[in-house]
A and B are shown apart, each in its own frame.
Chain A
Amino acid sequence: MAKSVVEIKNLSKIFQRDSFSVAALESIDLDVKEGEFLCLMGPSGSGKTTLLNIIAGIDRPTGGELHVLGEDIATLSEDALATWRNVHVGFVFQTFNLIPVLTAYENVELPLLLTKLSAAERKEHVLMALKLVGLADRIDHYPRQLSGGQEQRVAIARAIVTDPTLVVADEPTGDLDAYSADEVLDILSRLNRDFKKTILMVTHDPRAAHHATVVRHLEKGQLLPVEN
């Protein structure tokens, strides 16, 4: 039986807005197995992105238990959490979020600057990642010189260049046309299928959900039971 990558028990997240408390997540229980392609769906404001951020270690829960890759990441310091993210998690955002002054190559190389790899080793990793997303011929292009789909593929290359166990994608097709969205989803499916990456994806798009192995729905901060 596959081991758990994400184990969540009774997790909650409460945002303080002036004198009001807003519960973004309540009593969340979730178990994501290694090699799963989990799709989180739900209406706007249901807490999908908040849950994804907490699992990826860029936000912290207010209560409950959270273990990702066996680590209680809620207790890690900022610096330890940063290192943990660099090693274990790859991010893909809706708006691509590439650094505009860096080329495709330099954007993908960015997470590797924090490792002990030599320049030659970094180059090998970067070229491999860009080749995997079909952009080996665009290494010197700046984000403004790429189409939206190409930018998102560079972002995926950046997410996988450190060979993380977990790839999190927040609405990765939200800003793309249908053709580019299919390209991006195909790449994510290949990463899951061929490279055994565990993928957590938040989306509104029902077509995107078809690529997932597991689909869960969130509503008003609560995870709905698994549909059979």
Chain B
Amino acid sequence: MWRLVLKNLLRNKRRSFLTGTSVAVSLFLLSSLAMVYTALGKPLENADSIPIMMVRRATGIVFPMPASYGARIREVPGVAACASLSWFGGYWKDPANMFANLAVDPENVFKVQFASTIPPDQLEAFQRERTAAVAGRRLAEKFGWKVGDKITLLGSLWGFNPELTLRGIFSGGPDDQLWFHWEYLNEAIGRMNVVGLYWIRLEKPEMASRVGEAIDAMFRNTPNETKTESLSAFMLNFIAMLGNVRGIILLIGSAVTFAILLIVANTMAMSVRERISEAAIMRSLGFRPAHILRLFVGESLLLTLAGALLGIGGAKLLYDSLRLTQIGQFAFADLRLRPETLALCFGIALSVALLAATWPAYRAARTNIAVALRHTG
């Protein structure tokens, strides 16, 4: 039976090729959209097991907090370490060279970011010098930085261009970032004594809820109320600032899916209509309506799944070879076609194949044989 399905599929090679290619291109696009959609919904896959939380202003992450909060947060039971950070938002040499550059508390930042490791002498050099900076290995390799290099950050909204000396390169953790002294920033902006956020490291991951409530309770009814949240929740809030990007992606994805459905349905409708009399001949030979149904649906499945293999498989190969997880930042740090995304795309392809073929195939299978034999196609 599958031999017959294949032979029928190759009956009109140009049409099958064009349909298969259209399906492949559409599914490539759909799987790309699904990849971004998934990354935006779950930026860090294992976020809940990371014992790091973020403290921000309750009113939003763009509002700063007093630098004095750090000392009080360190006193909360369950907090192992706390470091302030302020988003600087500069670029290196060219606006195209955007990356995460943060003014941090050099004494505590490596205590919180325990997954980041740096040689002790480099750490000491970083902590000692007010204009020192450290960069993640991925970032340093991207720009070809070496320890001792002078790096000037430009274009920040803070209105000054810090001239930094790279004193260390750390590995692991958020290694696509550059950190420099908060004191340097604070001095340059007239000692406003504010920070953007606090990173806190918990003694145990399961303490998250209790510690978060304790910190927020401590600052309740003050001018600068806080919101303490997990890394993934923080990232989702950050992404939310971009607007309903996921909604837009979902809308485009739905349109793409509908387009695939139309392409396959059109091909199957033409294919079935041309072969109504053949279906009748087969039925006169003893083939049951269910056989005819399976024959046409099988064709649709084979055509769509071939396109899916090409489109989704191609996307997987392409994105894996581009090593997006190595170049993606922040919300896109884990940008890859996850197994569940692949399964979803193949599921959509399967559903489209069934939906597109079932109705015309059912009609062909149920048409009166004597009437269909008079059909000329």
What 13 additional pairs, Cβ within 8 angstroms, besides A58-B373, A102-B7, A114-B291? A53-B370, A58-B369, A59-B369, A82-B283, A83-B288, A85-B286, A86-B285, A87-B286, A91-B281, A97-B277, A101-B8, A110-B282, A162-B286
How long is the Cα–Cα vector from A97 to B280 in the complex, in angstroms? 10
Residue B266 interfacial (CB < 8 Å): no
Interface pair B7/A101, CB less than 8 Å apart = yes
1/0 contact string of B257-291 vs chain A (CB within 8 Å)? 00000000000000000000110111111111111
Q: Of residues B283, B285, B290, B368, which shows the largest number of chain A Cβ atoms within 10 Å of its Cβ?
A: B285
- B1 interface contact, C-beta 8 A: yes
Given the complex of chains A and B, what is the CA–CA distance between A208 and B181 in angstroms?
105
Is B11 among interface residues, defined by CB-CB distance under 8 A? Answer: yes
Is B278's CB under 8 angstroms from A58's CB? no
Listed by A's residue number, 19 A-B pairs whose Cβ atoms lie within 8 Å are: A50-B370, A53-B369, A59-B368, A79-B288, A79-B289, A79-B290, A83-B288, A85-B286, A91-B284, A97-B277, A97-B278, A97-B281, A100-B11, A101-B8, A101-B10, A101-B11, A113-B1, A158-B285, A162-B286
Residue from B1, B10, B285, B290 in contact with A85 in the complex, judged by beta carbons closer than 8 Å: B285
Q: In terms of DSSP, what is the predominant structure of the interface of chain B?
A: helix
A78 interface residue per 8 A CB criterion? yes
Kindly report which residue of chain B lies nearest to residue A50, judged by CB atoms: B370
Residues of A within 8 A of B1 (CB): 113
Q: A101-B7, A101-B8, A102-B7 are in contact. Are A59 and B370 (CB under 8 A)?
A: yes
Cα-based distance from A114 to B281 in the complex (angstroms): 14
Mask, A69-101, CB within 8 Å of B = 1, is 000000000110011011100010100010111
Name the residue on A nearest B374 (C-beta): A49
The proximity string for B residues 360-377 relative to A, scoring 1 for CB distances below 8 Å and 0 otherwise, is 000000001110010000
Distance between Cα atoms of A56 and B284 in the complex (Å): 9
Q: From DSSP, what is the main secondary structure of chain A's interface residues? A: helix
**Distance between Cα atoms of A102 and B295 in the complex (Å):** 15
A114 touching B7, Cβ below 8 Å: no
Interface size on B, residues (CB 8 A): 24
Among the interface residues A97, A100, A102, which one has the most CB atoms of the partner chain B within 10 A?
A97
Q: Specify which chain B residues have a CB less than 8 angstroms from the CB of A111 in the assembled complex.
A: 285-286
The interface residues of chain B lying within 8 Å CB-to-CB of A162 are 286
The residue from B8, B285, B288, B290 contacting A91, defined by CB atoms under 8 A apart: B285
Find the A residue at minimum CB distance from B368: A59
Whether A82 pairs with B288 at a CB distance below 8 angstroms is yes
Distance of A118 from chain B, by nearest CB (Å): 16
Residues of B within 8 A of A49 (CB): 370
If A79-B289, A82-B283, A86-B285 touch, whether A58 touches B7 (CB-CB below 8 Å) is: no
Chain B: minimal CB distance from A78 (Å): 6
Closest 9 CB pairs of A and B: A86-B286, A58-B369, A59-B370, A101-B7, A111-B285, A82-B288, A97-B281, A53-B370, A85-B286
Closest residue of chain B to A59, judged by CB?
B370
Distance A111 CA – B4 CA, assembled complex (angstroms): 13
| Chain B positions 7 through 32: 1 when the CB is less than 8 Å from some CB of chain A, otherwise 0 | 11011000000000000000000000
